[in-house]
Amino acid sequence: MPESFPVTDRTRLLREANRAVYDRDVICRILDEAFVCHVGFTGPDNQPFVIPTMFARVADHLYFHGSAASRMLRGLSSGLPVCITVSLTDGLVLARSVFNHSMNYRSVVAFGYAQVIDEPAEKLAALQAFTEKLIPGRWNDARQPNEKELKATSILKLPLTEVSAKVRTGDVEDDADDYALPVWAGVIPLRLVADAPLPDSRCDPAIPTPAYATNYKR
Amino acid sequence: MPESFPVTDRTRLLREANRAVYDRDVICRILDEAFVCHVGFTGPDNQPFVIPTMFARVADHLYFHGSAASRMLRGLSSGLPVCITVSLTDGLVLARSVFNHSMNYRSVVAFGYAQVIDEPAEKLAALQAFTEKLIPGRWNDARQPNEKELKATSILKLPLTEVSAKVRTGDVEDDADDYALPVWAGVIPLRLVADAPLPDSRCDPAIPTPAYATNYKR
């Protein structure tokens, strides 16, 4: 894999181009932190669909649950053109002017052709990646999929070839004249936190809560 | 507005239909809690685009920043067919089987035709909704938009007519046979929290941090 993705007509940012990032490590970190991606595809009559779904990155592919998209995809041997978008919200940016209010965020947009996975071994690897992404250590504790479950699971994959990120971090950016205004300005950081695990109502109290759940951190 | 949205071919859930919600109040609460929506539209050659952007609901319309989409939209007097999707992640669901691992989430999908707003008064109202949604009380403190800024702001609106939510809450759902397995099962709740506000590096220390920033809660 290249260390950065090539800039294409579709991944070149026209607005706020200074926020564009094509670096592979930055993009992978965003993809690995986000739980949910938004899969866009075009239905009949040019109708766009955007479906939120769980996903995981494995090397240079995104794997995602694809029940909605896979109905459309069956029979499209070339694959379904998709746009997969991921976004993380990191803070509220309170500028002196309304116009310069913003958010700190990290987002990734990936274009390409998604394919249905049919090979059981690849499906199993994708399910392992989903599970370990949710919570590392879980795969070995849970009952692993049987043949019937593997068949019932619809998973698609997208090769990461045309990808870009957009990142805003740091301070307020106000117009020069506005810095003199008597208006408080700053950033309110946001982050996703985990609370204490809640055992299932039918969970045997004799089974200890695993450390990976008790100490879960994003 | 009706108390619930009609079910259409596009908003009828084919999978996990028990998670479908058409109730207006539930849908509005999800829309009002999420900071970012994912706007899907179809570009040339059937290419889907999914762009994350800030948005706000005002009565029965969604307003969203629309620089990318509005380039395509200019000249389309009928409006641009869009799919706007919002998702919130509420928890990790650790089942006894890998297959039944899931997330607790709330998502909304809205279909329709987006229009560019040209009327300055409506633009101003949309900017006020964006600002007050980010942080209630801010609009009156910040410098409000001037004519040039209003012109430079590209805002689109989508009427809420064909909308559905999908919600998963609560406990693990395992297969009957799996409840006897000696595997811990439960939910790890997730939530977005705000940390203490960070004043802008050029913020006059004599200006007190407003209470709406210090006490900010999602």
Identity at B14, one-letter amino acid code:
L
Of A88, A90, A172, A157, give the one whose Cα is nearest residue A123: A157
State whether A207 and B178 contact (CB < 8 Å): no
Of B21, B32, B24, give the one whose Cα is nearest residue B2: B24
Cβ burial of A110 (10 Å; 0-12, 13-18, 19+) is buried
Per-residue pLDDT of chain B (218 residues; tens, 9 = 90+): 678 998 998 888 877 888 889 999 999 999 999 999 999 999 888 889 999 999 999 999 999 988 766 666 766 667 889 999 999 999 999 999 999 999 999 999 999 999 999 899 999 999 999 999 999 999 999 999 999 999 988 999 999 999 999 999 999 999 999 999 999 999 999 999 999 999 999 999 999 999 999 999 87
Give tens-digit pLDDT for A166-204: 999 999 999 999 999 999 999 999 999 999 999 999 999
Nearest CB to A188 within list B49, B188, B197: B197
State whether B179 and A202 contact (CB < 8 Å): yes
Nearest CB to A35 within list B89, B141, B185: B89
Contact A33, A88 (CB under 8 A): yes
Name the CATH architecture for the domain at B17-193. Answer: Roll (2.30)
Mutate to test the interface with A, among B99, B113, B198 (most CBs of A within 10 A): B99
Contact A93, A22 (CB under 8 A): no
Nearest CB to A82 within list B48, B67, B152: B48
Rounded to a whole number, what is the distance in Å from the CA of B35 to chain A's nearest CA?
8
Neighboring chain A residues of B197 at a CB cutoff of 8 Å: 94, 186-188
Nearest CB to A207 within list B131, B182, B207: B182
State whether A200 and B210 contact (CB < 8 Å): no
- CB proximity B169 to A under 8 Å: no
Length of chain B: 218
Give tens-digit pLDDT for A22-61: 999 999 999 999 999 999 999 888 889 999 999 999 999 9
Neighboring chain A residues of B36 at a CB cutoff of 8 Å: 87, 89, 103, 105
The pLDDT > 90 percentage for chain A reads 79
Q: Supply the ipTM of this predicted assembly.
A: 0.94
Neighboring chain A residues of B52 at a CB cutoff of 8 Å: 38, 85, 87, 105, 107
State whether A190 and B195 contact (CB < 8 Å): yes
Nearest CB to A134 within list B71, B101, B172: B101
Of A117, A127, A107, give the one whose Cα is nearest residue A159: A117
**pLDDT for residue B79:** 84
Residue A90 has pLDDT above 70, yes or no: yes
Neighboring chain A residues of B200 at a CB cutoff of 8 Å: 171-172, 185-187
Beta strands in B66-185 (DSSP E): 80-94, 102-116, 155-159, 162-168
- CB proximity A153 to B under 8 Å: yes
Domain ranges of chain B: 17-193
State whether B188 and A135 contact (CB < 8 Å): yes
CA torsion sign for B176, B181, B182, B187 is negative
**pLDDT for residue A74:** 67
Nearest CB to B52 within list A71, A87, A172: A87
- CB proximity A20 to B under 8 Å: no
What pTM was computed for the model?
0.94
Closest residue of chain B to A34, computed from CA coordinates: B89
Residue B11's alpha-carbon distances to B8, B15, B42, B162, B164, in angstroms, are: 5, 11, 19, 7, 6
Going by pLDDT thresholds of 50, 70 and 90, the confidence category of residue A17 is confident
